[in-house]
A = this chain, B = another copy of it.
Amino acid sequence: ADVRPGVRKVYVELPQPTLEDHVSDMARLQQAVGQFKISLSELRQLPAALRRGDFKGTAVLTDEWLIDFEPLDTTKHCYGAAFDVGTTTVAGVLLDLNTGTEIAVESQMNPQISYGDDVLSRIKHSASCPGCLEDLRSAIVGDMNAMISKMCLHTGVNREHIYEVSIAGNTTMEHLLCGIDPSSLGMIPFIPAHSAGLELKASELGLVINPQGMVYVFPVIGSFVGGDTVAGILSTQLDSMQGPVLLIDIGTNGEIVLLHDDKILAASTAAGPAFEGARIQCGMRATDGAIEKITIDDDVRYAVIGNIPAMGICGSAIIDIAAELLRLGIINATGRLISRDSLPENVPPAIKEKIRLNDKGQLEFVLSGSSAVGDVVFTQKDIRELQLAVGAIRAGVNIMLKQSGIRASDLQRVLIAGGFGSFIRRTNAQRLGLLPGEIDHQKIVYVGNASLSGARWALLSMDARRHAESIGQKVRHVELSLDPQFQMEFSEAMLFPAQTQ
């Protein structure tokens, strides 16, 4: 798509006013750049801004508004920031709006995690005291500001040259960062405050960019299928594909989108934060020090992000290790870690060595020992967390397919999205039952953080933004928990498939 962002800069050299040419400052500028609206605070600054540069300078415009007038020609300096605000992880990028280039990237834990690690506990917390919603709001906004600071620091970009921010998040995250009471999201019949996207002032939201800067908050589909899913559909162009196509965005909530017969259905399922490394004993985000890929032959082989000693394990490697242990019979179909002396004979001795009892008397598998930060292990409890996550997503997939009368083998493509590691090894995902085994694994594509990509698109192209709004209206929300088969599907999907090796 063409880079045609919401913000444009125009350098102008206006004729100086004279007694014969005495139109107002605002009209003089409009003669050069076209009509615009102006806020009172910007209008207060305009006369001095025009005169500071002898009526030469750079107008900063959105589709409707004049948001700044800067001395000299600053057209080269035009930036925006895009955010994916997840329940567990927040990712942001800084973009050069002239070229569309990504010049910095940051990710971190969502600081709201100290108030609960899933959306329901955050919703509950927000109602638990008069200042609690504000605590949640200021925590996330404060950290987004800090991420912007870091990205500016790394690139030398002047913060005032960031004119727009786009934000995609699940519905609860969007409500919380906007300071909108999310109570109705958490109780039947699960109603969000808004569904269309929001065009706000950064100052209303508390984001510190150019003082007149704007924010676009993605439209949401329903209470549990939010702007991140809209952004994912936008960036993957799912809606223009030849169906049936499945998009699974694996995060603390797993969002499942099915395109079939020109209809798009979307559902959400509470996977928990295991894939993002939370609730996993040595889990961590996909950042320096995280084991991101694991294979087992006669020993455990792994790759660490940043090529430094292993400090923990991130989502993609959690899938790997579980799949490998399952393949070797070290985990059985119910998810139980087998003790050393009950293991199949073909398990190599070096691998057997890695199974041990921890001080709570539970089995764990040692991935990397004696590093400075202690052993990196994968525990029986971690496997249970993974089973819940896998079960929730797979049950959702099964129900969506059934409701649409589609078999897994009919799917033309399966898109896996999420920011949980380098990429997902498709056969490992199928081995765990996260994806149906019947799907030709060539049809499975890992698309990375599709939500962040969508947020980036919306920043770079107003057409994309309009498209996002139409996606928000087109997609139908399916409430999985209402399906009588959900519990049954879920318990079945928690069991790992029989291993064919």
A interface residues with partner B (beta carbon < 8 Å): 17-19, 21-27, 38-41, 43-44, 46-48, 51, 178-181, 183-184, 188-196, 198, 200, 204-205, 220, 222-223, 477, 479, 482
Cβ contacts A to B, 26 pairs, < 8 Å: A19-B482, A21-B189, A22-B189, A22-B191, A22-B222, A23-B191, A24-B191, A24-B193, A24-B195, A25-B191, A25-B192, A26-B195, A26-B196, A27-B194, A40-B179, A40-B200, A40-B204, A40-B205, A43-B180, A43-B194, A44-B180, A44-B193, A47-B180, A47-B183, A48-B181, A51-B184
Contact across chains for A23 and B195 when beta carbons are under 8 A apart: yes
Q: Nearest residue in B to A223 (C-beta to C-beta)?
A: B22
CA distance in complex: A47, B26 (Å): 38
Contact across chains for B17 and A191 when beta carbons are under 8 A apart: yes
Q: Which of B184, B193, B477 contacts A43 (CB 8 A)?
A: B193
Q: Which of B17, B39, B198 contacts A189 (CB 8 A)?
A: B17
On chain B, the residues within 8 Å of A193 by CB distance are: 24-26, 43-44, 46-47
On chain B, the residues within 8 Å of A222 by CB distance are: 22
On chain B, the residues within 8 Å of A192 by CB distance are: 24-25
CA distance in complex: A205, B44 (Å): 12
On chain B, the residues within 8 Å of A21 by CB distance are: 189
CA distance in complex: A289, B335 (Å): 95
Measured between C-beta atoms, what is the minimum distance from A101 to chain B in Å?
A: 31
On chain B, the residues within 8 Å of A46 by CB distance are: 193
Contact across chains for A43 and B482 when beta carbons are under 8 A apart: no
Contact across chains for A196 and B27 when beta carbons are under 8 A apart: yes
CA distance in complex: A26, B223 (Å): 13
CA distance in complex: A18, B184 (Å): 12
CA distance in complex: A47, B223 (Å): 13
CA distance in complex: A395, B193 (Å): 62
Measured between C-beta atoms, what is the minimum distance from A30 to chain B in Å?
A: 9
CA distance in complex: A41, B204 (Å): 8
CA distance in complex: A450, B27 (Å): 26
Q: Nearest residue in B to A178 (C-beta to C-beta)?
A: B40
Measured between C-beta atoms, what is the minimum distance from A171 to chain B in Å?
A: 9
Q: Which of B27, B194, B200, B477 contacts A195 (CB 8 A)?
A: B27
CA distance in complex: A26, B27 (Å): 36
On chain B, the residues within 8 Å of A204 by CB distance are: 39-41
Given contact pairs A205-B40, A479-B19, A220 touches B24 in the complex (Cβ within 8 A): yes
CA distance in complex: A181, B40 (Å): 12
On chain B, the residues within 8 Å of A479 by CB distance are: 19, 22
Contact across chains for A25 and B184 when beta carbons are under 8 A apart: yes
CA distance in complex: A192, B44 (Å): 11
Given contact pairs A19-B479, A194-B25, A47 touches B181 in the complex (Cβ within 8 A): yes
On chain B, the residues within 8 Å of A178 by CB distance are: 40, 43-44
Q: Nearest residue in B to A205 (C-beta to C-beta)?
A: B40
Q: Nearest residue in B to A40 (C-beta to C-beta)?
A: B204
Contact across chains for B180 and A22 when beta carbons are under 8 A apart: no
Measured between C-beta atoms, what is the minimum distance from A183 to chain B in Å?
A: 7
Q: Which of B24, B196, B482 contacts A194 (CB 8 A)?
A: B24
CA distance in complex: A219, B252 (Å): 53
On chain B, the residues within 8 Å of A51 by CB distance are: 184
On chain B, the residues within 8 Å of A43 by CB distance are: 178, 180, 193-194, 198
